[in-house]
Amino acid sequence: MSSFPRFTALARELPATVPFVGPEAIERNRHLIVKARIGANENGFGPAPSVIDAITQAATQTWKYTDPENFELREAIASHHGVSIDQINVGEGIDGLLGQIVRLIIGPGMPVVTSLGGYPTFNYHVTGYGGRLVTVPYKDDSEDIDGLLEAAIREDAPLVYFANPDNPMGSAIAGSRVVEFARALPQTTMLILDEAYGETAPAGIIPAADALIDRPNVIRTRTFSKAYGLAGSRIGYVIAHADTARAFDKIRNHFGLNRIGVAAAIAALKDQTYLKDVIGKIGAARERIADIARANGLKPLPSATNFVTIDCGHDGAYARAIVDGLMEEGVFIRMPGVAPLNRCIRISVGPEPKLDLLEQALPKVLERTSQSR
């Protein structure tokens, strides 16, 4: 008789999967040192000094559990967006919230619509709860919003995932079209509108916070991991109809947030002057990455995020060689995982010294890669 635990049939069938290979694992496994960490869409400019002060002060209180209702944080988020506190709930980053949403809605065999090559962690959660992924290819390197709508209706899908701005391509669709898309979905289809990069998007991309608040079938996800520079704090939130937002209380980990991260998030919301400054730095870094790409004969794609996706002009094997070659030089970047998007590489913004390393390493790597073809 087997001595192994009685995992569910689904768990027994699933592979042990980590959706992303982190730079720490690369350092361990390849015995390399990451000198420029510009691949994980983190904000290398870091949080505001006022946030660091809040973290320092909160550290002495870390022996306490966080308020299980997260009232102060939810109140601060609601005030920032001009909505009711009942229309906000919080979780362990958008990744954690995505798992909760799938748990709320999806059972074994249910269809879930998303873009082919879109955010892999969402797919990971769908698979983990036994859902059936229905994917729609990108169109002109942007998510096909009409294709997503058609697939949702055709499949009678209970859940659709759409990111705007998009990861991994950096593209964005006008907010007016997004609102039309959301209102065209069947009321029985829940839309996850992932706005992780909302702060870095240009005007007209992110609908007003209350634009879809009347729709019980729309959940908008936001994060402190990108523009606010708090990826390690794992604080995300949803903006939704009050009934939908309250549903998270049925299944969430009520002690899932950490006290230091909560204090950091509240302080970050208060320091909008710093946020404005860092968004300017992100924009300047995007331009520099694009210039570096063009100087090396590569094509940067328009970006509304804190990264730039670059068309390398060949296939996935060529792009992978560039990613691996840059890592040999200490420059950590990533690439989309699905063809035809995988002809590209994706480079996150960062401070000037990190981009200096990229600028120095890329020509050498491209020369080596071209010689080996």
In angstroms, rounded to a whole number, what is the distance separating the alpha carbons of residues 92 and 301? 31
- The CATH class for the domain spanning 49-271 reads alpha beta
In angstroms, rounded to a whole number, what is the distance separating the alpha carbons of residues 66 and 55? 14
Identify whether the C-beta of residue 193 lies closer than 8 Å to the C-beta of residue 213: no
Return the pLDDT at 2: 56
Name the CA dihedral angle for 12, 16, 17, 18, rounded to a multiple of 10 degrees: 140
Return the pLDDT at 16: 87
Return the pLDDT at 18: 83
Q: How far is CA 38 from the centre of its chain?
A: 15
Helix (H) or strand (E) holding 44: none
What is the reported pTM?
0.95
Strand partners, 221: 194, 238
Return the pLDDT at 4: 65
In 3D space, the residue among 103, 96, 319 whose CA is nearest the CA of residue 223 turns out to be 96
Q: Which two tokens stand for residue 298?
A: 């590569």
Report the residue count for the chain: 373
* Alpha-carbon separation of residue 315 from 188, 258, 309, 312, 343 (angstroms): 40, 43, 15, 8, 5
In 3D space, the residue among 20, 39, 117, 21 whose CA is nearest the CA of residue 338 turns out to be 117
Q: What is the pLDDT of residues 274-290, one digit of tens each?
A: 999 999 999 999 999 99
Return the pLDDT at 6: 84
Return the pLDDT at 1: 46
Identify whether the C-beta of residue 269 lies closer than 8 Å to the C-beta of residue 262: no
Q: Where are the domains of the chain?
A: 9-46+273-372, 49-271
- Alpha helices per DSSP H over 106-241: 120-128, 145-155, 175-184
Return the pLDDT at 157: 98
Q: CB-based contacts of 186: which residues, under 8 Å, 6+ apart? A: 152, 153, 156, 217
| Level-2 CATH architecture, domain 9-46+273-372 | Alpha-Beta Complex (3.90)
Residue ranges of the chain with per-residue pLDDT less than 70 = 1-4
